[in-house]
Amino acid sequence: MRGVILHAPGDVRVEERDDPTIIEPTDAIIRVTATCICGSDLWPYRGVEDVHDAVMGHEYVGVVEEIGADVRTVKVGDFVVGSFWASDNTCEICRSGYQAYCVHRVLMGTLGTQSERARIPLADGTLVATPGMPDDDLVPSLLAASDVLGTGWFAAVAAEAGPGKTVAVVGDGAVGLLGVLAAKQLGAERIIAMSRHADRQALARRFGATDIVEERGAAGVARIKELTGGLGAHSVIEAVGTQESMMQAVHSTRPGGHMGFVGVSHDVALPGDDMFMAGIHLHGGPAPVRRFLPELVRLIWDREIDPGQVFDLTLPLDQAAEGYRAMDERRATKVLLTV
Ligand SMILES: [Zn+2]
């Protein structure tokens, strides 16, 4: 089969890979219908993370082609969505809603879903089947549920977005934008998107943002305070992962408020004195997308939400290198690869 290999920073190639096979009786093999490039794929692409001949991709939707002997809840022919962590969904951590930390978890990026087929470990726990074969226009939204929507949703839940709350969102990538959508769905009263890109501001407004703040850093914090009677937001979503964005989020949260941070952290060090004086709740990390998948699939299937709008470039898998370039150069927010 064909699949993306990142040979070295900046060197993306689509090459022949071995077809996946059932290894464990709990595995399923899917024919990937659509996959995508994640903001987190840019870290190795830019050489911030070490990389050498790596398979790539952890987001996927597709059709089940083969199942192992112990797979019970998904069957051949099902259209399925799964999280970027494979999880059994039965261990104590999974049952508490933290499937990204399953005691048997497997990171899908290590198997690489930017490919024609993929092996899905722990298929019963990992995959959620849709009610039938989706219309083509639903596929981008279902694919978004695999990571960026689920992650934005978790961030909004972790930040306790809800009725009567003012939510501020730091980061206007796909996750930040879908954090806006999630906050809206969860009933937030006011949603402030922090973005300086006109197209992303427009999408944030379509997803439910009521205010836009273009300033960053201390100026961004000052603007959030100004918009919230000097108090800061009740709920803040952090969806970048840099020192500046984390501190912008911390200082934008009012005392007693909640911050959900889901940007993959790179060299962030939280100063003890700032954290001590902030008096806020912090919750974040890799999102337990699987917790939310059944509800997200239902909302998409019933056309109540349209998260697939975050994809602003669609390319065939063979042109993955152009997709990486477009995201790296910020010509695209999120690239969908058709297989
Ligand atoms: Zn588990």
Among 284, 304, 320, residue at a domain's last position: 284
Kindly give the distance from the C-alpha atom of residue 103 to the centroid of ligand 1, in angstroms, as a whole number. Answer: 5
Helix (H) or strand (E) holding 328, with range, is helix 320-328
Residue 312: CB atoms within 10 A of its CB come to: 16
Kindly give the distance from the C-alpha atom of residue 226 to the centroid of ligand 1, in angstroms, as a whole number. Answer: 44
**CA–CA distance, 74 with 129 (Å, rounded to integer):** 7
Among 284, 307, 322, residue at a domain's last position: 284
Residue 195, classed as helix, strand or coil, is coil
Question: Are both 9 and 127 inside the same structural domain?
Answer: yes
Question: Are both 171 and 70 inside the same structural domain?
Answer: no
Domain containing residue 133: 2-147+288-338
Kindly give the distance from the C-alpha atom of residue 307 to the centroid of ligand 1, in angstroms, as a whole number. Answer: 27
Kindly give the distance from the C-alpha atom of residue 69 to the centroid of ligand 1, in angstroms, as a whole number. Answer: 20
Instruction: Tell me the torsion sign for CA atoms 131, 143, 64, 119.
Output: negative
**CA–CA distance, 174 with 328 (Å, rounded to integer):** 14
133 near 318, Cβ under 8 Å? no
Can you read off the two tokens belonging to residue 330? 């910020």
Kindly give the distance from the C-alpha atom of residue 101 to the centroid of ligand 1, in angstroms, as a whole number. Answer: 7
25: CATH: 3.90.180.10
pLDDT at position 55, please?
97
User: Which are the contacts of 65, defined by CB distance < 8 A and separation ≥ 6?
Assistant: 29, 30, 31, 76, 117
Question: Are both 143 and 170 inside the same structural domain?
Answer: no
Question: Are both 80 and 210 inside the same structural domain?
Answer: no
Place of tokens 């975050």: 310
Question: Are both 240 and 314 inside the same structural domain?
Answer: no
Kindly give the distance from the C-alpha atom of residue 289 to the centroid of ligand 1, in angstroms, as a whole number. Answer: 13
Kindly give the distance from the C-alpha atom of residue 83 to the centroid of ligand 1, in angstroms, as a whole number. Answer: 13
Kindly give the distance from the C-alpha atom of residue 82 to the centroid of ligand 1, in angstroms, as a whole number. Answer: 14
Q: How many helices (H) and strands (E) does the chain have?
A: 12, 18
Kindly give the distance from the C-alpha atom of residue 87 to the centroid of ligand 1, in angstroms, as a whole number. Answer: 5
Helix (H) or strand (E) holding 199, with range, is helix 198-207
Kindly give the distance from the C-alpha atom of residue 123 to the centroid of ligand 1, in angstroms, as a whole number. Answer: 12
Least Cα distance to 207 among 241, 230, 237 occurs for 237
SS (H, E, C) 210-266: CEEECCCHHHHHHHHHHHCCCCCEEEEEECCCCHHHHHHHHHHEEEEEEEEECCCCC
Question: Are both 109 and 12 inside the same structural domain?
Answer: yes
Kindly give the distance from the C-alpha atom of residue 207 to the centroid of ligand 1, in angstroms, as a whole number. Answer: 32
pLDDT at position 22, please?
98
Kindly give the distance from the C-alpha atom of residue 100 to the centroid of ligand 1, in angstroms, as a whole number. Answer: 8
**CA–CA distance, 23 with 29 (Å, rounded to integer):** 10
Domain count for the chain, please give it. 2
Kindly give the distance from the C-alpha atom of residue 157 to the centroid of ligand 1, in angstroms, as a whole number. Answer: 20
Question: Are both 296 and 270 inside the same structural domain?
Answer: no
Kindly give the distance from the C-alpha atom of residue 85 to the centroid of ligand 1, in angstroms, as a whole number. Answer: 10
Kindly give the distance from the C-alpha atom of residue 183 to the centroid of ligand 1, in angstroms, as a whole number. Answer: 27
Kindly give the distance from the C-alpha atom of residue 327 to the centroid of ligand 1, in angstroms, as a whole number. Answer: 33
**CA–CA distance, 112 with 28 (Å, rounded to integer):** 15
User: What string of pLDDT tens digits covers the 339 residues of the chain?
Assistant: 999 999 999 999 999 999 999 999 999 999 999 999 998 899 899 998 889 999 999 999 999 999 999 999 999 999 999 999 999 999 999 999 999 999 999 999 999 999 999 999 999 999 999 999 999 999 999 999 999 999 999 999 999 999 999 999 999 999 999 999 999 999 999 999 999 999 999 999 999 999 999 999 999 999 999 999 999 999 999 999 999 999 999 999 999 999 999 998 989 999 999 999 999 999 999 999 999 999 999 999 999 999 999 999 999 999 999 999 999 999 999 999 999
Kindly give the distance from the C-alpha atom of residue 275 to the centroid of ligand 1, in angstroms, as a whole number. Answer: 32
279: CATH: 3.40.50.720
Question: Are both 165 and 258 inside the same structural domain?
Answer: yes
pLDDT at position 40, please?
87
Question: Are both 7 and 130 inside the same structural domain?
Answer: yes
Kindly give the distance from the C-alpha atom of residue 240 to the centroid of ligand 1, in angstroms, as a whole number. Answer: 27
Residue 171 burial by Cβ neighbours in a 10 Å radius (0-12, 13-18, 19+)? buried
Kindly give the distance from the C-alpha atom of residue 126 to the centroid of ligand 1, in angstroms, as a whole number. Answer: 10
Residue 328 burial by Cβ neighbours in a 10 Å radius (0-12, 13-18, 19+)? middle
pLDDT at position 71, please?
98
Question: Are both 143 and 292 inside the same structural domain?
Answer: yes
Question: Are both 239 and 104 inside the same structural domain?
Answer: no
Question: Are both 182 and 221 inside the same structural domain?
Answer: yes
Kindly give the distance from the C-alpha atom of residue 124 to the centroid of ligand 1, in angstroms, as a whole number. Answer: 11
Least Cα distance to 143 among 14, 288, 36 occurs for 36
